[in-house]
Amino acid sequence: MPSSDAVVDLLGALAYGELSAFGHLADDAGLAPTLAGRAQMSAMAAFEFGHYQCLADRLVELGTAPEIAMAPFVAALETYHSLTKPSTWLESVVKAYVGDGMAADFYREVAALVDDGTAELIRDVLTDAGRAEFAVREVEAAVAEQPAIAGRLALWGRRLVGEALSQTQHVLADRDSLMLLLVEGTGDLTGVAGLISRITDRHAERMTALGLAG
């Protein structure tokens, strides 16, 4: 069984991930070229906030103030967001789908390593509510009109995965309980490598779904 420290860390990291995703998606909604696009990106943001609330409630049930549980993860997540700040609407769409999808894959993998109640909560807050269809539609339409965009967006996707892995490593180096959870949960370091390779495979599938080279 993972330690309760690891569960609190996991929920805290996930909660801050949702709270910061909320803020960044809400901000990126301002890049939308149409009110309809802005409303859709805002809907994603509001959806993430709902998830944040579920995670914060669970932390309170476990006797930990959400802000205490989240604090250790603020720097890494804000670094990720500042290094991957979208400068165009399409970059924000790709980030909302590809970046958040990658984070979701990671947490889904980790959910398999913790108690059933926590795992169920984690899986509940990771539904993506039609984000894939939205992203595919926006990117396909833009690339059809201006094919040169595809190369730039493919590079952008690689940057997202690179920065996400890099920040995840920083967090794991800093939080022993999470590192132990991963290593013991997956068996050993080979298990961790397998987990990372599954996540990057799914990242490549998402880029392909967008019609972009992974």
Binding a second copy (rule: CB under 8 A), the pick from 3, 4, 33, 39 is 39
| Residue 46 binds to a second copy (criterion: CB under 8 A) | yes
Judged by beta carbon, residue 62 or residue 189, the one nearer a second copy is 62
CA geometry: angle at 7 spanning 73 and 129, to 5°? 75
CB 55 within 8 A of CB 125: yes
Q: CA 147 to CA 61: how far, in whole Å?
A: 51
Instruction: Return the closest-CA partner of residue 203 out of 152, 162, 169.
Output: 162
| Residue 38 binds to a second copy (criterion: CB under 8 A) | yes
Q: CA 158 to CA 205: how far, in whole Å?
A: 13
Closest distance to a second copy from the beta carbon of 124 (Å) = 17
Instruction: Return the closest-CA partner of residue 212 out of 128, 168, 134, 156.
Output: 156
Judged by beta carbon, residue 50 or residue 151, the one nearer a second copy is 50
| Residue 62 binds to a second copy (criterion: CB under 8 A) | no
Applying CB under 8 A, the site for a second copy has a residue count of 28
By CB under 8 A, name the binding residues for a second copy.
16, 19, 22-23, 26-27, 29-30, 34-36, 38-39, 42-43, 45-46, 49-50, 52-53, 56, 65-67, 70-71, 74
